[in-house]
């Protein structure tokens, strides 16, 4: 049995940095990885998807070029070349991770499946490793719904759809959440017909309806077909076609026919093959690992970080989990998961940047609100770029004048919303930005109109 100061199962955006930094502090570290270094983000998530979205956006711009007085030839997408570019970038990022691990003398890398055999013992490839500090960063995988017929077809997930070499003629997507919409618009711009099947009354069910509706209008304008309040009840293949029978509220069953099917119905944690019961680590009803506010599990000396513990499933949250754990171990700083704001973006076009509470969440929590909202066509820079789909929205606590949350649906929405996040982190009133000097013309200049639109509930 080999003894380590720390064992880390999974090399995602929490586990990888934790392994490196603990090793640099002189800890003897074992890093266990089932497949590729870098986890979902580098290999199947952020890096490859945003690389391919960039290609799709270029195709979209090229088709729109005549609107700007620029005339080109026919636009053709070679998906094989798009995928090759994606693979090159992924391989480079993964290679840099491998190089750093190999250069770290205090870090041993094990390729294989790590499994608890006792409270402080993990087995990998038949070898037993022991440590008083064990960290689980095994992430999550696509959730496959139990729909009759689904096992009889070759469906796609976020992992294998990015390896297609030909553009699907008609891509059907089950799920109108973040992943479904990003891939849907991407392939729409590559040249596919795209149909979204979503169970909710509006896309992005967690978001405010006005924000989701504005995005839906933009996607419909590009030619996407969207089925709301729709549940898939059967899936079948007929020749080269996939047939999804859906049941919609107040309507008869309908068959949506396409050539390819993408399942984008959420994620499940990779917690089922870890032998957690041997370590005393408990999971919740959805199999996410239970943690306290400092990411400690129910087993002493075992932590869970990243998607496997549930909560916001974003790379930057996994990385912040690493910072919380590392600062507690090395610097005795007791920051918790309750001390952070969670910004995120949906990389559609228009792009959705979000932070804090939605309006519906704030109302449910009982706040007395002030709301500010403007359409993006009020922003001079958006007009100049002819990117006016979307809106800006801010939710304010009327009693304290503090920003509770914000949504920016428009060009660079993910960048813009972080300006508002900074004010929230500083615990400053929203009025700090009301008379700020903004560069003209910029997208941030839209905050002038946004804050001028702020009204208390009932105010005209």
The mean pLDDT value for 246-250 works out to 84
* pLDDT tens figures, 127-164: 999 999 999 999 999 999 999 999 999 999 999 999 99
Q: Could you report the per-residue pLDDT of 71-103, keeping only the tens digit for each?
A: 989 999 999 999 999 999 999 999 999 999 999
Structural domains in the chain plus CATH codes:
2-141+268-339 (3.50.50.60), 150-265 (3.50.50.60), 344-455 (3.30.390.30)
Q: Known catalytic residues?
A: 440
The closest of 372, 364, 358, 385 to 441, measured between CA atoms, is: 385
- Predicted TM-score (pTM) of the model is 0.95
pLDDT at site 457: 73
| pLDDT more than 70, % of the chain | 99
């Amino acid at each position: 049995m080999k003894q380590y100061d720390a064992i880390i199962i999974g090399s995602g955006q929490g586990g990888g940095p934790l392994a490196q930094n603990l090793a640099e502090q002189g800890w003897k570290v074992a890093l266990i990885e089932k497949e590729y270094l870098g986890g979902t983000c580098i290999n199947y998530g952020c890096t490859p998807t945003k690389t391919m979205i960039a290609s799709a956006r270029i195709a979209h711009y090229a088709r729109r070029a005549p609107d700007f007085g620029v005339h080109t030839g026919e636009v053709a997408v070679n998906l094989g070349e798009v995928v090759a570019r994606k693979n090159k970038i992924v391989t480079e990022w993964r290679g840099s991770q491998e190089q750093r691990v190999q250069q770290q003398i205090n870090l041993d890398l094990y390729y294989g499946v790590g499994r608890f055999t006792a409270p402080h013992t993990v087995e990998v490839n038949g070898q037993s490793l022991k440590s008083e500090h064990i960290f689980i960063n095994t992430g999550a995988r696509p959730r496959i719904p139990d729909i009759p017929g689904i096992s009889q077809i070759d469906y796609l997930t976020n992992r294998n759809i990015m390896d297609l070499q030909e553009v699907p003629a008609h891509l059907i997507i089950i799920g109108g959440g973040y992943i479904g919409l990003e891939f849907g618009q991407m392939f729409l711009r590559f040249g596919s017909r795209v149909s979204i099947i979503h169970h909710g009354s509006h896309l992005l069910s967690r978001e405010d309806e006005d924000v989701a509706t504005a995005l839906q209008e933009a996607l419909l304008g590009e030619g996407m077909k969207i089925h709301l309040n729709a549940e898939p009840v059967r899936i079948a293949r007929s020749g080269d076609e996939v047939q999804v029978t859906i049941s919609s509220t107040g309507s008869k069953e309908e068959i949506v026919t396409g050539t390819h099917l993408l399942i984008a119905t959420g994620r499940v944690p990779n917690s089922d093959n870890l032998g957690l019961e041997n370590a005393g680590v408990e999971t919740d009803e959805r199999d996410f690992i239970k943690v306290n506010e400092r990411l400690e599990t129910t087993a002493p000396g075992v932590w869970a970080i990243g998607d496997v513990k549930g909560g916001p499933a974003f790379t930057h949250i996994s990385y912040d989990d690493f910072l919380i754990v590392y600062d507690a171990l090395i610097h005795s700083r007791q920051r918790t998961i309750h001390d952070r704001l969670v910004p995120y973006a949906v990389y559609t076009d228009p792009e959705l940047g979000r932070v804090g509470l939605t309006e519906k969440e704030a109302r449910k929590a009982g706040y007395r609100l002030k709301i500010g909202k403007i359409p993006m066509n009020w922003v001079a820079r958006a007009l100049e770029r002819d990117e006016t789909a979307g809106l800006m929205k801010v939710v304010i606590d009327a009693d304290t004048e503090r920003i509770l949350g914000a949504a920016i649906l428009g060009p660079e929405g993910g960048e813009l919303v972080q300006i508002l996040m900074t004010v929230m982190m500083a615990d400053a009133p929203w009025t700090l930005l009301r008379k700020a000097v903004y560069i003209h013309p910029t997208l941030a200049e839209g905050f002038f109109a946004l804050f001028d639109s702020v009204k208390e509930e009932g105010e005209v």
